[in-house]
Chains A and B, each alone.
Chain A
Amino acid sequence: MIYFLNEKNLPDYINNLLKKYRVYGTKRIGNDVIFDYLDNGNEFYDGRSILSPKNMIIPSWKNLNEHDNEKETIIFGIRSCDLLGFQIMESVLKLDIEYNMKRSLMHFANFICSEPCIYGFCTTFGGPKLNDSGAQFLRYRDGYIVEIRDNVFQSNLMTNASEEMVKYLEGYNEHFSELMAPLNTEDIEKKMSWNDDLWNELAKKCISCGACNYSCPTCFCFDINEGENERIMEWDSCIMEGFTRMAGGANSRPDLSSRLRQRFMHKLSYHYLTYGIHLCSGCGRCYETCPVKIDIRDVIRRYNP
């Protein structure tokens, strides 16, 4: 169903959600937008967070010997690209019991961007209006058009949407594509070249900080290490030399250029060949957080100018 929520009612709407659930939403600290647990509806800030809330389902660091009592949580204010990231990861993680358990306790309310960001290219993978979401909010005049599929988001603070609003929402991706031209990914999985000099060029710049992995809403690789009374699972990065180092020191990807190639080919080729979906939601965070500004869009453009 499609509704309309007046901006004035948004804090109360969130307060109502807070009565029954934990709400993990976007907040503003200085000029930075981050995810945090909200104490009341006024703390919410409608903005694109620096990192996706991937951490909620795949923790950046977790002691596997400790078990948390997971609670039902609402992720409020996630951008469409980040939510799409979870849906993409499911192609692999649907077999993971822990992931499924956590995922089933999460309700997502995504906010559709009202204008294109400078880093993203989400129109390449569909656009900011998603086909499947608990609730999605689209800015419209003095409020939001809200499409609800998950009943926890129902509220009597909303009114039914007018026909004009429904039309605006339906046609939003097309409209957005005019503002943010989609990149051409046709056959890119076949066109990408293993021996391309591009990988050496990128390796010259890359300082292997791992930011592209840590900020990516679709990267799910982890490593497990053991300490005293603990068994730690933490985010890993395929840009690191130790990622593929085997016992005895042999390494199938010994140099940075081969690791960068792996990252981009996994994103744009291998995953598509296996699962029929690109391992990228077009959020552009890898470019945004990259200290030396390696741009995944340039990689796509190289093969499909």
Chain B
Amino acid sequence: METDFKRIYNFIPSKREDINYGTLCIKGWKGLRYVKHNSRLKRPLIKDEKGNFKEADWDTAVYTAISSLMEILGKYGPDSLAFQASAKCTNEENYLMQKLARQVFHTNNVDHCARSCHASTIEGLITSFGSGAMTTSIRDIDNAELYFVIGSNTTEQHPVIGSRIINNRMKGKTLIVADPRKIKLAEMADIYLRHYPGTDLALLNSMAYVIIDKKLYDREFIEKRTENFEEFSRIIENYDPDVASRITGVEPEYIERAAVLYATKKSITFYAMGITQHTQGTENVQAIANLALLTGNVGRSGTGVAPLRGHNNVQGSSDMGALCDFLPGYRRVYDENGRKIFEEAWNCELPAKPGLSLTEMFEYALEGKIKAMYIMGENPVLSEPESEKIIKSLENLEFLAVQDIFMTETAEYADVIFPSQSFAEKLGTFTNTERRIQLIKPFLNPPGEAKSDWEIIQMIANSAGYSWNYNDASQIMDEISRLVPQYSSVNYKCLEMTGGLQWPVRECHGTEILHAERFTRGSGRFNPSEWKKPIEFWDQEYPFILTTGRVYYQFHTGVMTRKVYLLEREAPEPYVEINPEDAKNMGIKNNENIRIETRHGELCVKARITDMVPRGILFMPFHYIESPANAVTNSNLDPRAKIPELKVTGARIGRCQ
């Protein structure tokens, strides 16, 4: 970004070969202008009795917040409070947020939006490999021979990685795509598996069946480096392609061909929300890991499992333990030894019971068990399932504090709003999808009195009687590097010199490929599971499956991208995709408003007739407040990762008045 601290002049793509090699997507070229938008919050806001927001000074706002929080803490106990960190904030800020919750307010009720995108990745990959992160690097993508993309619309959601896949495909490498929607990559794939939503596990298990059946597995790798293979092969026996074909709707022959190719080449598997946002999300992730273990496609160059992270720092915020069940560095809260490290460092006692997950926080608030919430840079009204319930639970709170750069749909319900700084205005680090910790430096003046999120958190902690004294973000990183093993020895000097390091870091050297000699957890573990039908599926009453996703031009709940004219021009309104035959049978015309009804709500939205979606499936982007897709999605949770099943909701179509 080219600036003079007052104005942005232009955006220039860096030519660094290890990340974006001189390319940007449209959001890189145009999208970042939001930081200079007029409607940035400039002063703290306090809601008065009439429900109007009044500007206030920092001292008053912090005092209002802390006195309400302390009052509720005293009255109802620590577990009546809930904190939300943010994958858009820096590592340092997320670290302090969970420290605030755990040290100052003695609760594990701290979580963030990784819960609804990659919680199952963390759970799944930790139980399989030991580290919940991409095992390989972006640069290493070029060394693979086969790309297996499942549940990720890579060219739209991760365009820079997607274009690497396209370039390699054009060079003649193999591409296998599994997705209910006929995405751009599917059009150029060698094999396109169009399975039904929610049947990923059956598909992956069946691929494993073929590999075992044809004896294509890597015997040496399995013997030396993995465990639990016997149980795995016993469960997999039930998934021969004919059986799987009846579940998934994919021809057995295709499953076989895909499996054979995957097993015989150096393969990387890419996946994203299509795998994780299911009640069997953890099992899906484990099934992907199983395939990699079975064929030795992990731990060497050109192979691996690549969960694609959506937000700039969703990897880092998870690493920092902004999760209800993990302390920084993925130490489980019920693990006594892990707790002890932090109890000593923070000089306090930590609760051993896992806190409430993101979705549960709102349920508890609805029931009146959560009395106060502190939300940093998140907009759950749009991003969480069953938004009507979310709004009710926010209204039900006695106190809500929000810190954000803009007035959001969520902030409307707040009692106090703190204006915070965007990435362009503060110092800190982000950890990207390939575990690369990168330093960001301020190059714009913040608007008005906006403060960086860590400063605000420190003010809250100190007014609660603690004496945190971080002078700048680098001192927080020093503390992190002492306590989080993956980040050990990370400091700003090192990051500046190298231009970013991939964790685990040892003496200023990063790690490009994880699990090279041994797995983080020792040996790789096969975690087999049986496929279960999603809780909502096609039935008489609800003959469609509604699945949600994103569009290329918008980001998350649109708080940032919808303020950028050109992006908004390209994707201005919500729509629902419907197959031409379904549309014909129901007499629906293109662009006609139709009513989507589910067990959880209903809304009207424009129909877009396209063969992107197969028959019986509807697709909706969730960015838009006008017709928020999450008003109708279900909040059935993966029992382990607590991730909601946003990808499969039973639906029917009605008429709009």
Contact = CB atoms under 8 A, between A and B. Distances in A.
A64 to B, nearest CB: 14
A207 B167 contact: no
Nearest to A36: B2
Given A204-B188, A240-B570, A31 B15 contact: yes
Contact of A209 (B26, B167, B170, B569): B26
Contact of A293 (B24, B167, B187): B167
Interface in A4-35: 30-32, 34
A208 B569 CA distance: 14
Interface string B23-45: 11110111001000010000000
Contacts of B166: 205, 207, 291-292
B16 interface: yes
B560 to A, nearest CB: 15
Contacts of A288: 22
A234 B29 contact: no
Contacts of B33: 61
Contacts of A207: 25, 155-156, 159, 162-163, 166, 184, 552
A8 to B, nearest CB: 29
B160 interface: yes
Given A30-B499, A36-B2, A227-B38, A211 B24 contact: yes
Contacts of A290: 23
Contacts of B163: 207, 291-292
8 closest residue pairs by CB, A with B: A291-B163, A291-B23, A242-B569, A225-B565, A55-B10, A60-B10, A292-B163, A209-B25
Given A204-B187, A288-B22, A32 B29 contact: no
Interface in A184-219: 204-205, 207-211, 214
A51 B162 CA distance: 23
Interface in A27-51: 30-32, 34, 36, 50-51
Given A59-B9, A60-B10, A227-B38, A249 B566 contact: no
A174 interface: no
Given A207-B163, A209-B25, A223 B155 contact: no
A50 B22 contact: yes
A232 interface: yes
Interface residues of B, number: 39
Size band of the A side of the interface? 35 or more
B565 A211 contact: no
A16 B16 CA distance: 34
A208 B14 contact: no
A234 B23 contact: no
A54 to B, nearest CB: 9
Interface in B127-171: 155-156, 159-160, 162-163, 166-167, 170
Interface in A45-78: 50-51, 55, 59-61
Contacts of B535: none
Interface of A: 30-32, 34, 36, 50-51, 55, 59-61, 204-205, 207-211, 214, 223, 225, 227-230, 232, 234, 236, 240-242, 245, 249, 288-293
Interface of B: 2, 8-16, 22-26, 28-30, 33, 38, 155-156, 159-160, 162-163, 166-167, 170, 184, 187-188, 499, 552, 565-566, 569-570, 591
B167 A292 contact: yes
Most buried by A among B8, B10, B16, B162: B10
B26 A210 contact: yes
Nearest to B17: A31
Nearest to B163: A291
Given A32-B12, A51-B12, A59-B9, A289 B566 contact: no
22 contacts: A31-B15, A50-B14, A51-B10, A55-B9, A55-B10, A60-B9, A204-B184, A207-B155, A208-B26, A209-B24, A209-B25, A211-B23, A223-B569, A225-B569, A227-B565, A234-B566, A240-B569, A249-B591, A289-B22, A289-B23, A291-B24, A292-B163
Given A34-B12, A223-B565, 17 more contacts: A36-B2, A50-B15, A61-B8, A61-B33, A204-B187, A205-B170, A205-B188, A207-B159, A207-B184, A209-B25, A209-B26, A210-B29, A240-B566, A241-B570, A291-B23, A291-B163, A292-B167
Nearest to A241: B570
A193 B42 CA distance: 55
Nearest to B499: A30
Contacts of A32: 12, 14-16
Contacts of B160: 291
Contact of A50 (B13, B188, B499, B565): B13
Contacts of B24: 209, 211, 289, 291
Nearest to A35: B2
Contact of A30 (B14, B159, B170): B14
A41 to B, nearest CB: 21
A228 B499 CA distance: 39
